[in-house]
Amino acid sequence: MKNIVVLVSGGGTNLQALIDAQKQGMIPNGRITCVISSNPDAYALVRARENGIGTRVIVPKEFSSREIYTKALLEALFQEYADLIVLAGFMTILDEAVIHAYRNQIINVHPSLIPSFCGPGYYGLRVHEAALERGVKYTGATVHFVNEVADDGPIILQKPVAVQPGDTPETLQKRVMQEAEWVILPQAVSLFCNGRLEVKGKTVWIKG
């Protein structure tokens, strides 16, 4: 059984998708053991507590340096025996020390089809604004392993979503979450926990 630790900063809709998938037996070899928030007021913490999941709050600005914050985060991950770390709306860039300690054990969901509309500055509504400004006919979501470069890690799963006439960034964001993010994030977590992911360079092979 793999221990899944979810890092959050906000409302926790992707966390809720994972909780729902776990309840439905869609992650048979994994369990969410802890939710760590960088924001003490994150609603994701409420979602976790209502479902009997342990929580921790580690606020970056409360530490005198990035190094000390990173040490505290790593200590928490070690204490939770984390096998998989899921970034679910986590608004803090992880230090390389965390990535090195958990190579190919950290996954993130991004609301576009990487390599489009990703990298520094592309988060939240900005991603969908950029997609609409460019006039793409399809956008979507990507689940990928995290490396030292923003949104650059090996891609695990992607799912396209059609852009509709009259879409606003808000309506597109909602549809991408419902039709893509909440679908492929639990799938990727399940694949990891079942030992079906193999990374070769920048490519992820799904075994079986």
Cβ atoms within 10 Å of 101's Cβ, excluding its own: 16
φ and ψ at residue 183, rounded to 5 degrees: -90, -55
* CB-CB neighbours of 32 under 10 Å: 23
Cβ atoms 170, 194 nearer than 8 A: no
Sheet containing 203-206: give its strands across: 54-57, 30-37, 2-8, 84-87, 106-110, 138-145, 155-162, 203-206, 197-200
Residue 148: closest CA among 99, 104, 111, 191: 99
Please identify which of the residues 100, 110, 128, 144 carries the catalytic annotation. Answer: 110
Q: Which amino acid is at 120?
A: P
Q: Is 110 a catalytic residue?
A: yes
Active-site annotation, residues: 110
